[in-house]
């Protein structure tokens, strides 16, 4: 979603703001802008640009930022204070007028905003009636005019003006506000949209996400809902609750490095993140297993869970809520939980769950999965579940994210910073963690014997090495991608957890290559999708046929689509001679190491991620920043 950076200090704000915005580019954007407090004129310079094809947004913005503020030729001053924004359009088309920052009528105030001001229409009418002039179609602009009004009403006290303005807003917002008459401070505020603060020897900085900050400091503060903070050029800040009470916030140490936020020699973040997956798996598994000793059976360590073992035993239902890729991880987790813990599990798309009066009560465990921890639909689902009395377990990758504050308990996946919009390593970490959680529930509920759990765990331990061997030779994936890159549409088929793996494979292909793809439970193809296959239609089929209980049935499905003239790409287990024979008939085969069916999604997802990426690259798509998409979807 949109990105915010705000800085005030004793070094030039322009390079800090542009550097910060560059680190937020991964979130997706259609335009960007800066507001700089010009010390020469005492005014605010606002510079805004719309994304140009084939060019980085920040690069375009950098060219437009005057070398020495507004006065060319004079290098004797620097800009101490400014705010920057990358926009992902919600209200109003992508355009210079709608790009942030937005100003008030006096030209003294500039505002950048993430989120949606839900009551903006009523506020706009009210402000128009009082003579304010609007220049954009955005919901954000009302904030600038509200601050303008309250600034006068509050005797030019900027903090009080912002507090009064924020009190009028409903919806979600992270805001940074600059005022020309307050050149050494900025005011920031938030509700339901992330905002992080930090200080350095040379100033104070705020941003919508940590990559924009960690170059300057690793000790950050996550601002509370409807709280505001004043950033000062002397490198201090002051946090206030909604009533204006000043408090000392808790500082959180950001563990991921700047290098994590850079490509490390890979052509794109997605490829880098795919190759990080063996490490992510190791980190996710580490420390979970406790071997049997004289007093205890082998068991898994889930100390983070605030539910007692007795409470876990009395859960009547599990409901998993998530969106997109996290939803697919949930589908896999559900199958394993039902199999091992013998508890009914339903998986719900969070945006549907919230609006259909679901059956949830105090005997329900709601598992909310979100890489970012900021997805608005998932957060709404969490709130609904809490109101209904359910215990909510959040599974996220981001420390300090919204979900960690709203769920009863949080478990962190160990994917580390994920920058590419297409989720890869976070998916793998989610699936691995849900696999462990399903095993844990199975053991606690006496449905999964300790020795069986230990056997599955040792298979899990072997996966990172198997993954490394797969990643060492990806030629068969590249070749299959080359043959499929010009397809008109693609079908993915599998059974059981293989079908879910295919849902994720098809989503990955769609989102980064813009090639239409659909996944089906393979048994369903003869109920409709088979009609799409025609030798002249260029509709390749990707079939997941690794060793499983439904392997024979998958082979039959593969024969069905070959017989109708489809080009087929099969994911099969190394050493599968029957598939090797089919390969002689011209199908493409991607082999994966032998693995129990319950763990197969972890290995099989990776070639599908690479397959999507190679096709996207062959189609000249921007792999890390697919059109119209954003890394964290903070609007419903």
What residues act catalytically? 2, 631
CA dihedral 25, 26, 28, 31 (to 10 degrees): 10
User: Is the CB of 186 or the CB of 367 nearer to ligand AGP?
Assistant: 367
State which residue, 34 or 422, has the beta carbon closest to ligand AGP. 422
Which residues, 6 or more positions from 565, have their beta carbon under 8 angstroms from its beta carbon? 533, 534, 535
Binding test (CB under 6 A) with ligand AGP, winner from 140, 372, 501, 625 = 372
DSSP-derived pairing of the beta strands 299-300 and 289-290? antiparallel
Instruction: Please tell me whether the peptide bond between 549 and the residue prior to it is cis, using omega within 30 degrees of 0.
Output: no
Angle, CA of 166, 201 and 251, to the nearest 5°: 55
Number of residues interacting with ligand AGP: please give it, by CB under 6 A: 16
Minimal distance in Å, beta carbon 633 to ligand AGP? 5
The secondary element (H helix, E strand) that includes residue 153 is helix 141-153
Answer yes or no whether residue 419 interacts with ligand AGP by CB under 6 A: no
Q: Please, which residue, 235 or 330, has the CB nearer to ligand AGP?
A: 330
The residue from 331, 422, 561, 568 that contacts ligand AGP (CB under 6 A) is 422
Q: Looking at 270-278, 418-426, 452-460, 561-569, which segment touches ligand AGP (CB under 6 A)?
A: 418-426
Closest C-alpha to 211, from 407, 426, 372: 372
Q: Does 423 bind ligand AGP (CB under 6 A)?
A: yes
SS3 state of residue 196: strand
Dihedral in degrees, nearest 10, Cα atoms 350, 424, 470, 602: -20
DSSP string, 436-460: HHHHHHHHHTT-S-HHHHHHHHHHH
Shortest gap between Cβ of 287 and ligand AGP (angstroms)?
23
Strands of the sheet containing 391-396, edge to edge, are 345-349, 317-322, 364-370, 391-396, 409-412
Sole binder of ligand AGP in the list 193, 378, 550, 634 (CB under 6 A)? 378
Minimal distance in Å, beta carbon 9 to ligand AGP? 32
588 binds ligand AGP (CB under 6 A): no
Task: Report how many helices (DSSP H) and strands (DSSP E) the chain contains, helices first.
Answer: 19, 28
- Nearer to ligand AGP by Cβ, of 158 and 623: the residue is 623
Residue number of the CB closest to ligand AGP reads 324
Least distance between ligand AGP and beta carbon 16 (Å): 27
Instruction: Determine, following the binding rule CB under 6 A, whether residue 435 of this chain makes contact with ligand AGP.
Output: no
The full length of the chain comes to: 636
Among 162, 92, 167, CA closest to 134: 92
Where helices occur in 253-375 by DSSP H, the ranges are 269-275, 277-285, 309-314, 324-341, 350-353
The smaller minimum CB distance to ligand AGP, of residues 180 and 422, is found at 422
Closest approach of Cβ 51 to ligand AGP, in Å?
19
State which of positions 505-524 bind ligand AGP (CB under 6 A). 511
- 3-state DSSP call for residue 216? coil
Helix (H) / strand (E) containing 45: strand 44-50
Among 69, 240, 277, 371, binds ligand AGP (CB under 6 A): 371
Whole-angstrom distance, CA of residue 114 vs CA of residue 99: 12
Contacting residue, 277, 435, 632, 634, with ligand AGP by CB under 6 A? 632
Give the residue, chosen from 375, 500, 550, 573, that forms a contact with ligand AGP under the rule CB under 6 A.
375
Does 370 help bind ligand AGP (rule: CB under 6 A)?
Answer: yes
Beta bridge partners of 222: 196
Closest CB 505 distance from ligand AGP, rounded Å? 11
For residues 318 and 521, what is the distance between their CA atoms, to the nearest angstrom? Answer: 23
The nearest distance, CB 5 to ligand AGP, in angstroms, is: 21
d(CA 193, CA 20): 18
Least distance between ligand AGP and beta carbon 192 (Å): 14
What does the per-residue mask of binding to ligand AGP show for 302-331, with x meaning CB under 6 A?
A: ---------------------xxxx-----
The 3-state DSSP class for residue 617 equals helix
State the burial class of residue 284 (Cβ atoms within 10 Å of its Cβ: 0-12, 13-18, 19+): buried
Nearer to ligand AGP, 187 or 419 (CB): 419
- Helices 141-153 and 120-129 pack at an angle, to 10 degrees, of 50
Q: Which stretch binds ligand AGP (CB under 6 A): 154-162, 416-424, 461-469, 521-529?
A: 416-424
Cα dihedral 74, 78, 83, 88, rounded to 10, equals: 50
DSSP run (H or E) holding 72: none
- Which residues inside 611-630 make contact with ligand AGP, applying CB under 6 A? 629
Taking the least distance from each CB to ligand AGP, the nearer of 298 and 512 is 512
How large is the angle between the packed helices 141-153 and 158-167, nearest 10 degrees?
Answer: 130
* Closest distance to ligand AGP from the beta carbon of 403 (Å): 8
Q: How far is the CB of 285 from ligand AGP (least distance, A)?
A: 21
Cβ-based nearer residue to ligand AGP, 231 or 413: 413
Give the phi and the psi of residue 110 in degrees, each rounded to 5. Answer: -135, 140
Site string for ligand AGP, 253-292 (x = CB under 6 A): ----------------------------------------
- In this complex, which beta carbon is closest to ligand AGP, that of residue 375 or of residue 513? 375
- Binding region for ligand AGP (CB under 6 A): 323-326, 370-372, 375, 378, 421-423, 511, 629, 632-633
């Amino acid at each position: 979603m949109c990105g915010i950076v705000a800085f005030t200090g004793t070094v030039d704000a322009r390079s800090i703001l542009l550097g910060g915005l560059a680190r937020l580019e991964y979130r997706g954007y259609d335009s960007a802008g800066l507001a700089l407090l010009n010390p020469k004129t005492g005014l605010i310079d606002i510079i805004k640009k719309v994304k140009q094809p084939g060019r980085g947004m920040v690069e375009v913005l950098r060219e437009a930022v005057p070398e020495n503020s507004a006065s060319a030729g004079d290098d004797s001053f620097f800009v101490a204070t400014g705010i920057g924004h990358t926009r992902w359009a919600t209200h109003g088309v992508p355009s210079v007028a709608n790009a942030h920052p937005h100003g008030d009528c006096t030209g003294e105030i500039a505002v950048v905003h993430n989120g949606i001001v839900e009551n903006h229409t009523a506020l706009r009418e009210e402000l128009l009636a009082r003579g304010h002039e609007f220049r954009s179609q955005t919901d954000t602009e009302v904030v600038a005019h509200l601050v303008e009004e309250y600034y006068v009403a509050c005797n030019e006290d900027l903090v009080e003006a912002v507090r009064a303005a924020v009190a009028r807003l409903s919806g979600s917002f992270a805001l940074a506000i600059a005022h020309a008459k307050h050149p050494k401070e900025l005011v920031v505020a938030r509700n339901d949209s992330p905002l992080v603060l930090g200080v350095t020897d040379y100033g104070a900085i705020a941003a919508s996400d940590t990559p924009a900050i960690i170059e300057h400091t690793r000790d950050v503060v996550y601002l509370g809902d409807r709280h505001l903070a004043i950033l000062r050029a002397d490198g201090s800040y002051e946090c206030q609750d909604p009533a204006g009470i000043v408090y000392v916030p808790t500082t959180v140490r950001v563990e991921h490095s700047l290098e994590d936020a850079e490509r490390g020699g890979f052509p794109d973040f997605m490829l880098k993140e795919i190759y990080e997956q063996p490490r992510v798996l190791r980190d996710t598994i580490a420390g979970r297993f406790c071997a049997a000793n004289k007093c205890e059976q082998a068991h898994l360590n889930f100390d983070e869970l605030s539910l007692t073992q007795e409470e876990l035993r009395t859960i009547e239902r599990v409901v998993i809520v998530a969106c997109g890729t996290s939803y697919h991880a949930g589908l896999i987790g559900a199958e394993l939980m039902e199999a091992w813990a013998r508890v009914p599990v339903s998986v719900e798309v969070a945006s549907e769950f919230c609006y259909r009066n679901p059956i949830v009560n105090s005997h329900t465990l709601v598992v909310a999965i979100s890489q970012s921890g900021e997805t608005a639909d998932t957060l709404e689902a969490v709130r609904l579940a809490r109101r209904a009395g359910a215990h909510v377990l959040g599974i996220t990758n981001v420390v300090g994210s919204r979900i960690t504050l709203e769920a009863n308990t949080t478990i962190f996946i160990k994917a580390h910073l994920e920058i590419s919009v297409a989720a890869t390593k976070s998916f793998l970490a989610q699936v691995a963690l849900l696999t462990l959680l399903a095993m844990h529930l199975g053991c606690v509920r006496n449905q999964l014997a300790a020795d069986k759990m230990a056997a599955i765990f040792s298979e899990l331990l072997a996966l990172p090495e198997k993954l490394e061997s797969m990643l060492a030779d990806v030629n068969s994936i590249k070749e299959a991608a080359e043959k499929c890159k010009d397809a008109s549409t693609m079908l993915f088929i599998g059974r059981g957890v293989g079908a879910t793996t295919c849902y994720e494979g098809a989503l990955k292909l769609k989102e980064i290559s813009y090639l239409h793809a659909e996944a089906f439970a393979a048994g369903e193809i003869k109920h409709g999708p088979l009609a799409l296959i025609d030798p002249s239609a260029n509709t390749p089929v990707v079939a997941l046929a690794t060793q499983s209980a439904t392997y024979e049935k998958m082979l039959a499905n593969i024969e069905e689509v070959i017989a109708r003239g489809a080009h087929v790409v099969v994911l099969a287990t190394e050493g599968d001679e029957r598939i090797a024979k089919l390969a002689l008939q011209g199908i493409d085969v991607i082999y994966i190491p032998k693995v129990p069916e319950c763990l197969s999604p972890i290995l099989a997802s990776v070639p599908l991620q690479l397959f999507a990426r190679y096709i996207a690259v062959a189609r000249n798509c921007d792999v890390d920043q697919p059109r119209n998409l954003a890394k964290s979807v903070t609007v419903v």
